[in-house]
Structure 1
């Protein structure tokens, strides 16, 4: 589901160049997990339904959502927008994601919960008077993001909410996985080592249930296949050499018996 926004074109509205992705007055930087996990999601989000040119992925990027309040934004830990074009010119890379400029809402938003953000992520906090709407309100009511996912690594808990009639409903997950048909991928928890760190990680899988490999995993798979092919080639050569040796021994035996090996059919 792609949500379009028919905002009127107004010269006074700021563009992404006027709305930078970082607030210099906001302290703190993402922790290690908030670096690794979004990278794994990005590397494995390889949709068979869209070319890489036709969907946009971002992490920790300001998302501006209200043309009447142009300084209001949320900063999802990770999100993907289907139908938004990627930039290939370095100078045109997005500084932020501005809804009234892009006209397309995210398809999937993922928040990585922590003890300090869990209540806000789950919509338990109320909007304060004269303050911007809460994260939940923005994703559910304003942007109407079809899928909202929250992963709590401290409790190893994956929660998935799907938009139904304008409200989020939590999905019951039997295997800590969810299939996202428009994307042509599933999202689930994988136990393994990423960037040298053992743990349970969110990543995408294909229709057959196989985890989408990262570039380094694909390189390792190719290396292993090349080694196996080389080993098989060596084994075939060894078998050929052994057969040639056996044949030579047989020829020598026949010659000892005064039989010309070439006269035998």
Structure 2
């Protein structure tokens, strides 16, 4: 008979008893594996961009520690192979991929939620920047169109004046 350790009363939280990403060995032998800004912001970035197409928000649980190196297959963990630096999850209608960029003033390689085709799902801040860029582009187009209209009107006035100089009334053509 296997004897399980007795549970404390009250029970310890999973954060105290289960391994986290900080328990994983680091590529850097001098790295103690302690939390840093990246480890705080990584789950925040995932939370801010999680937009599943096939799930309601009531069914979503967001974890703050994530280990996506392995997939549970028939009760055994197996290494996950990424395609195009991303992992497609058809159940969610999303991909989880690697992105090199800047988030919260930290340049790093991040896990990012993406569309099935690999487009980044933007954060609110990124959406605001994109909206501002679209507004600036629209304003630039409107300004250019206005300038073309003014130039066309000036050209029409010049042509009308030239016709009058030639004795032709441009209003009666």
Q: TM-score, normalised by structure 1?
A: 0.51
**The one of 57, 61, 65 aligned to 1:56:** 61
Q: Does 1:189 align with 2:98?
A: yes
Show CA shifts across 1:42-94 (max 9, x none).
111111112333312132xxxxxxxxxxxxxxxxx1xxxxxxxxxxxxxxxxx
Query: Structure 2 matches for 1:128-207, cutoff 5 A?
Result: 149=68, 159=69, 161-207=70-116
**The one of 119, 126, 130 aligned to 1:217:** 126
Deviation at 1:21, TM superposition (A): 8.5
Query: Structure 2 matches for 1:3-152, cutoff 5 A?
Result: 30-59=35-64, 77=65, 110-111=66-67, 149=68
Unaligned runs of 5+ in 1: 1-12, 24-28, 60-76, 78-109, 112-148, 150-158
Deviation at 1:175, TM superposition (A): 3.2
Q: Is the 8 A contact 2:38 2:106 kept in 1?
A: no
Deviation at 1:172, TM superposition (A): 2.7
- Please, what is the CA RMSD of the aligned residues? 2.3
**Tell me, what secondary structure is at the counterpart of 2:97?**
strand
Show CA shifts across 1:162-200 (max 9, x none).
221111111233433211111111111111111121111
Rounded Cα–Cα distance in structure 1 between residues aligned with 2:99 and 2:75: 31
Q: Which residue of 1 aligns with 2:154?
A: 245
Rounded Cα–Cα distance in structure 2 between residues aligned with 1:263 and 1:174: 70
Unaligned runs of 5+ in 2: 1-8, 17-33
Q: Tell me: higher relative CO, structure 1 or 2? Use CA pairs within 8 A at least 6 residues apart.
A: 1
Looking at secondary structure, tell me which structure has more strand per residue. 1
Q: Which has the larger radius of gyration?
A: 2
Q: TM-score, normalised by structure 2?
A: 0.77
Rounded Cα–Cα distance in structure 2 between residues aligned with 1:251 and 1:31: 72
Rounded Cα–Cα distance in structure 1 between residues aligned with 2:56 and 2:142: 37
Rounded Cα–Cα distance in structure 1 between residues aligned with 2:97 and 2:149: 48
* Stretches (4+) displaced over 4 A: 18-23
